């Protein structure tokens, strides 16, 4: 006998945790949450400064990588996705960015009716408790705590000052009225801990008797009667089980695994599914298409004073930091160390920022390889709206087989020009007098790398994913043949099935994707429960008044 729940959610990630919380607020709703990963307990996940560990651990990461990327010398790029309670919010860099207001207005123009900025702002406010954000624009009573760092290092202030000296403005809250400018960066950290979607939403919701969480559950496919989703088949502890949904099945399994599950269930390109022997339930060629991501480079500068995190890059310091964090929840262990940032426009005629900076008082890679130079600092920089598009495909009907992921990075000439501009603008910022007392030699790209050709070679060799994949189950008008879900997150062509995670983004948003992914879970919950949407906002976001003629 199969057990029946009202709702089955697949994936306990950023959106899935928010969904599980909101759907179980009504005690009459029974909800099953299926997650392949395991517990998020332990310092590697919960200590913010340890962020480079979980995304490099197979215990917590699906371990995906791209196909050889044809425009990046055939390099395969890592594509980490959280395989743990909290999903990618448990292994990410904890940077909190809502996205720019114009991102969501663009979604609406692309067919995501009701997802303009005026519609989504109230959901961002509902999800947040902002510590130090702009009054009237930020949430003050939501589950997701968002804070700023202590700015313990003088290099953070130098970065912001250099931005001012270069002619850019400082914005008091890039998640408020004005994104454009240099700013204090915000992080999902609360009381010294990583404030993942699991800590914010799921753990409080698990106290309710109407929420059941099953860990270690690999969902193989959605079950259908005719064209109506009736449940899912999953494997856990070596046993395959069917479980039924009285109302709906909701996929919140990530921009990689949600399209993979749709394809395994017979929803996708009929031609591709037929070639794998999968019965076609709905011919939706958009499933797995429209894959987008952000790429970034690390522009690294040696620091002439011994003030960077490099002095703590040794076992004794790490042990002390870890002990202080364990005992007090304070100190260097309680920050992700991305405490300053910027959003700027690459040139006049761009209406809103298209370049993002994360600033770090250390020259290091995500994989933990310290620069041999010793003390240094770096800016992670990359364009926000690449025109390149990739795809996800099945390699086999076997649910355990990894999908084929091709981002098709840097396939457009504009991408190369945008990246060269980003490097040159970064050098200009690091060249300001605010950095005079700290600036050593340029570690990378290196002072000899100046021509377009040399910069292109550096980009193709060193560019890395910022780990922001999205767009593979694109939301759009139900009449759009490439749309996968309608503006209420319902999968087009079937009944009883929705997708709610970053895969539904029509276009990638400015900055990091955890914040907008949680917003999708919040807003989708109201659609699922057939609640009236939150009242639209009449707040008017700031756009540079001279954007057509001025770059800064």
User: Residues within the annotated binding site?
Assistant: 84, 92-95, 219
**Which of 308, 365, 358, 328 has the alpha carbon at shortest distance from 94?**
358
User: Residues within the annotated binding site for FAD?
Assistant: 84, 92-95, 219
pLDDT of residue 2: 79
**Tens digit of pLDDT for each residue in 392-431?**
999 999 999 999 999 999 999 999 999 999 999 999 999 9
What's the rounded mean pLDDT across residues 460-488?
97
Domains of the chain in start order, with CATH, are: 3-528 (3.50.50.60)
pLDDT of residue 319: 94
Q: Is the pLDDT of residue 43 over 60?
A: yes
pLDDT tier at 365 (50, 70, 90 boundaries)?
confident
pTM: 0.98
- Greatest CA separation found in the chain? 72
| Cβ-contact 340, 148 below 8 angstroms | no
Q: Is the pLDDT of residue 184 over 90?
A: yes
pLDDT tier at 370 (50, 70, 90 boundaries)?
low
**Tens digit of pLDDT for each residue in 47-71?**
999 998 998 899 999 999 999 999 9
**Tens digit of pLDDT for each residue in 266-288?**
999 999 999 999 999 999 999 99
**Which of 333, 340, 337 has the alpha carbon at shortest distance from 171?**
340
258 three-class SS: helix
Catalytic residue among 145, 468, 527, 544: 468
Quote the CA–CA distance of 161 and 434 in Å, as a whole number: 6
The backbone torsions φ and ψ at residue 294, rounded to the nearest 5 degrees and listed phi first, read -105, 135
Window from 42-56, 316-330, 358-372 with minimum mean pLDDT: 358-372
Is-catalytic flag, 131?
no
Q: Is the pLDDT of residue 1 over 80?
A: no
pLDDT tier at 371 (50, 70, 90 boundaries)?
low
Q: Is the pLDDT of residue 170 over 70?
A: yes
What's the rounded mean pLDDT across residues 184-188?
98
- What region, left, alpha or beta, does residue 387 occupy, with left being phi > 0 and alpha being psi -120 to 50 degrees? alpha
**Tens digit of pLDDT for each residue in 338-356?**
999 999 999 999 999 999 9
**Tens digit of pLDDT for each residue in 99-140?**
999 999 999 999 999 999 999 999 999 999 999 999 999 999
How many Å from the N-terminal Cα to the C-terminal Cα in the chain? 65
């Amino acid at each position: 006998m199969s057990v029946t729940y009202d709702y089955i959610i697949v994936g306990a990630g950023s959106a899935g945790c928010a969904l599980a919380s909101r759907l179980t607020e009504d005690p009459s709703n029974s909800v099953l949450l299926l997650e392949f990963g395991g517990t998020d307990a332990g310092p590697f996940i919960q200590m913010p400064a340890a962020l480079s560990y979980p995304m490099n651990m197979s215990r917590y990461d699906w371990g995906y990588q791209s196909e050889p990327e044809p425009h990046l010398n055939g390099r395969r790029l890592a594509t980490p996705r959280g395989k743990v309670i909290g999903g990618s919010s448990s292994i990410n860099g904890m940077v909190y960015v809502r996205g720019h207001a114009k991102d969501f207005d663009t979604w609406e123009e692309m067919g995501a009716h009701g997802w303009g900025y005026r519609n989504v702002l109230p959901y961002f406010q509902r999800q947040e408790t902002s510590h130090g954000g702009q009054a009237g624009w930020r949430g003050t009573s939501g589950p997701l705590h968002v804070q700023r760092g202590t700015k313990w290092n003088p290099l953070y202030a130098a970065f912001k000052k250099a931005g001012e000296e270069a002619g850019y403005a400082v914005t008091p809250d890039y998640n408020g009225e004005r994104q454009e400018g240099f700013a204090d960066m915000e992080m999902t950290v609360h009381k010294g801990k990583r404030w993942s979607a699991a800590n914010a939403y799921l753990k409080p919701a698990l106290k309710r008797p109407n929420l059941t969480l099953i860990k270690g559950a690999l969902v193989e496919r959605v079950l259908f009667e005719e064209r109506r989703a009736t449940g899912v088949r999953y494997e856990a502890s070596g046993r395959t089980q069917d479980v039924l949904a009285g109302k709906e099945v909701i996929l919140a399994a990530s921009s990689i695994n949600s399209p993979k599950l749709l394809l395994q269930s017979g929803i996708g390109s009929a031609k591709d599914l037929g070639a794998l022997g999968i019965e076609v339930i709905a011919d939706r060629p958009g499933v797995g298409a429209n894959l987008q991501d952000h790429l970034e480079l690390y522009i690294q500068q040696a620091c002439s004073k011994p003030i960077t995190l490099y002095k703590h890059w040794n076992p004794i310091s790490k042990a002390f930091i870890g002990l202080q964090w364990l005992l007090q929840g304070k100190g260097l262990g309680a920050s992700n160390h991305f405490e300053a940032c910027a959003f700027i426009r690459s040139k006049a005629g761009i209406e809103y920022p298209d370049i993002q900076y994360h600033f770090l008082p250390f020259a290091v890679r995500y994989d933990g390889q310290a620069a041999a130079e010793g003390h240094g600092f770096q800016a992670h920089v990359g364009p926000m709206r690449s025109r390149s598009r990739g795809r996800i495909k099945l390699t086999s009907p076997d649910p355990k087989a990894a999908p084929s992921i091709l981002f098709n990075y840097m396939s457009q000439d504009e991408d190369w020009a945008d990246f060269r501009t980003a490097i040159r603008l970064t050098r200009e910022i690091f060249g300001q007098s605010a950095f005079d007392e700290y600036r050593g030699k340029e570690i990378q790209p290196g002072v000899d790398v100046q021509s377009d050709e040399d910069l292109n070679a550096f980009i193709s060799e060193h560019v890395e994913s910022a780990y922001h994949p999205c767009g593979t189950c694109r939301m759009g008008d139900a009449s759009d043949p490439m749309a996968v879900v309608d503006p209420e997150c319902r999968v087009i062509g079937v009944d009883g099935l929705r997708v709610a995670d970053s895969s539904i983004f029509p276009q990638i948003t400015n900055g990091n994707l955890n914040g907008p992914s949680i917003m999708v879970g919040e807003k989708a919950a109201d659609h699922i429960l057939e609640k009236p949407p939150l009242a639209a906002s009449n707040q008017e976001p700031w756009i540079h008044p001279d954007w057509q003629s001025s770059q800064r």
